[in-house]
Amino acid sequence: MKERIRNFIAETTFTDPEMIKDETMIFDEGIFDSMGLLGLINFLEEEFGVVTDDTELIEENFGNVERISAFVERKKAAVAS
């Protein structure tokens, strides 16, 4: 999952995937902006079937690949239960 998320970020920002580590803060580093976040939300919905509420659009959920992956796992687990 992390690799798919990383590749999406790299492809949409023309960034070398090797430059995006699990802990790379994608907004702080200027890799992503608010428009990129919208694309990421769409990607997560299509790729993983998770729906994001406006209240979940926080750095703790989307700051880096590790956090995004954990967010998706939590959302999928909540749907499964």
- List the domain range (segments joined by +) for residue 71: 2-80
Greatest Cα pair distance in the chain: 37
Residue 79 in this model has a pLDDT that exceeds 90 = no
Specify the number of domains making up the chain. 1
* Whether the Cβ atoms of residue 65 and residue 5 lie closer than 8 Å to each other: yes
For the domain that residue 26 is a member of, what is the CATH number? 1.10.1200.10
Three-state DSSP at 18 gives helix
Residue 81 in this model has a pLDDT that exceeds 80: no
User: What pTM did the predictor assign?
Assistant: 0.94
- Cite the DSSP H helix spans in the chain: 2-13, 34-48, 59-62, 65-80
Say if residues 44 and 38 touch (Cβ distance below 8 Å). no
